[in-house]
Structure 1
């Protein structure tokens, strides 16, 4: 009887010590502080953040999420599939795209953007001012002008530049007077100067003139403002940068069999139909395939690629990541027995190592390992600390195929 009581107590202890299925979200209140499980969890999350180039999660976590700009959603859907995997590594200029909303929110044609989240080490590739042109008010008489000249200037501090010049022309072109929709102007020079000297950021000024050079009636040529119009039409600065992280061009590529239809970057405008994200049930099935039994059985099988789904909701990141909800990183498992067939995608070195192992010429030489031999990047669309929407590509995140190396 005494022995039976000991066994029951031991079994209960083991049950209590087993981690919860929600181990990435719960604080482990039932676990002993001496087990170190919470420390391991925090360390693991910290390392995962480092993979995504962050020290801490954005403060947007847990806050009411704003609707991302449609341009950023369209851009994400252009460069990434439903799991976030990059369709074409050379389609996107750089590896980071940010959208900033106008901070002045005035009715005038002046705009200012806070670029404090852009690191000085990032290379500024292209900066675009996106303005939504409204139709002329119907009560106004029809204008005989069919086009107007729209110019974008960078505002300067004449006291610092030792010049009487108060603004610098950045971009200018003709646009139809009676049209409506997004108009995009290149303002790269201004943004480069702002990131080099934050104090020089006095904003942008837009001037509209008739073809003859005279001023146009601002009631005739109107751009949406952040104060009086729908958030989907807010003035926006879109910034393309490169943070200098290595591109894995040597192993990342597009297989001819897996190639996608050639895509082009979206233009600001009407919403494009976005592909549906995988359903909860589909993702559950994907995770269900990674059972312990299957994983153990795979070790005795030839080298192969197996599912490994990373669920951002379970990690606790769904509050700031817009897309994807998770992605299949895959992992490689299995044996590389002699002789290595071409289906195992062996390198010449792995083939020689396999032969040496089979001949027992050197006792300490093991068989080759089953590892990824092709890696793909993924894309994250997320809110940063200032609630700007960021699209970022991360290299070497998905095992595209496995081989014996």
Structure 2
């Protein structure tokens, strides 16, 4: 028995010695840590992509050689501030705007747009055909026609474009013959048909007629094409869609955030564990420990360049998501923006009426959306709005 005890004591001593002795092969310790760190980084980026509704980042090599359409830049600046935060949630129809350039580059007024990047769950709200009308040639300025009728047809049969059975009228209106600049035609009906059956997408045909219905010479009314004119004047299709991710109300979003805190989680002001030489909570100087300060909003900058997304995101380069930190001590004042539930919880905690009841947590009580302007896999420019991305204010809940 004594021999068995001695052997056990010897084995335990060896085990303690091996655990306390540093390894001489540093690569054994270093590489697993690096691999774990890289694995965590990849998992975190994948999760962030899911937040932005993507499985993989767009395979776009870089935006240096390709400029976004001015329309999309102007639209982004209209709905978002310099940090990408939404100025007014009612300005944008839906939560996604996609732009597509003409793929035919035809000499005729015929256009084709590849809509394969539009996801099946996106609801098409509005579709617009943007055409840049060129200034008439000098010899035609004094033409007797002052207005013309522009008609946009959805092609049903490429072999019968010149007969009524081969096309369907989707938009038509009068424009001045001698004007120049962008003209926009609503073609929602055609695009919805294409989304239902992708094989029905045979393109669009534009015709120009006098008020009497006589076909006009294309030299009289000319539209820029992608083949002969600057990229800033290329024919473009703009889709306003909604992918169903929009939150119905801010209150509902915040309730969802509160529900996610169920479970054995400590409040934020309890996460800092005391280290060696750390004073007890009673003797902590109030101004030295940020966790003891009242609930407040603090900066949290998300840098897309550091994440490796600057190659396909046009704007913003990053944004301040903010985060909430601080204590919710009794009694909760109105400056803490407490809910009634948080007030009651704070009272129960102070009176020690029930064991295990912690103080309320410092969490966002108002959330704002942000907007991303980016290139997709097909080099189209997309403007997308994401809800609940920025903490607008903090409160005790």
The size of the alignment, in residue pairs, is 340
Deviation string, structure 1 residues 298-356 (Cα, Å, up to 9, x no partner): 21100000000000011100000000000000000000000000000000000000000
1:226: which partner in 2?
226
Q: Distance in 1 between matches of 2:187 and 2:243?
A: 20
Q: Distance in 2 between matches of 1:379 and 1:215?
A: 44
Segments of 5+ residues of structure 2 without an aligned counterpart are 1-21, 254-285
What is the CA-CA distance between 1:211 and the residue it aligns to? 1.1
1:386–1:133 distance in 2 versus 1, CA, 3 Å? same
CA contact (8 A) 2:250 2:367 kept: no
2:57: which partner in 1?
57
Following superposition of structure 1 onto structure 2, how do residues 221-260 of structure 1 map, counting pairs within 5 Å?
Answer: 221-251=221-251
Deviation string, structure 1 residues 173-229 (Cα, Å, up to 9, x no partner): 110000000000000000001011000000000000011111111111000000000
Which residue of 290, 298, 313 corresponds with 1:298? 290
Which residue of 358, 369, 393 corresponds with 1:366? 358
What is the CA-CA distance between 1:61 and the residue it aligns to? 3.8
1:348: which partner in 2?
340
CA contact (8 A) 1:120 1:196 kept: no
TM-score by length of 2: 0.81
CA contact (8 A) 1:170 1:189 kept: yes
Give 1 or 2: higher helix fraction.
2
TM-score by length of 1: 0.80
Residue 316 of structure 2 is aligned to residue 324 of structure 1: yes
1:23: which partner in 2?
none
| Larger deviation, residues 393-402 vs 130-139 | 130-139
Following superposition of structure 1 onto structure 2, how do residues 135-284 of structure 1 map, counting pairs within 5 Å?
Answer: 135-140=135-140, 142-157=142-157, 165-251=165-251
CA RMSD of aligned residues (A): 2.5
Q: Distance in 1 between matches of 2:65 and 2:361?
A: 45
What is the CA-CA distance between 1:249 and the residue it aligns to? 2.0
Structure showing greater radius of gyration is 2
Q: Distance in 1 between matches of 2:65 and 2:138?
A: 36
Following superposition of structure 1 onto structure 2, how do residues 70-85 of structure 1 map, counting pairs within 5 Å?
Answer: 70-85=70-85
CA contact (8 A) 1:61 1:317 kept: no
Q: Distance in 2 between matches of 1:90 and 1:324?
A: 20
2:126: which partner in 1?
126
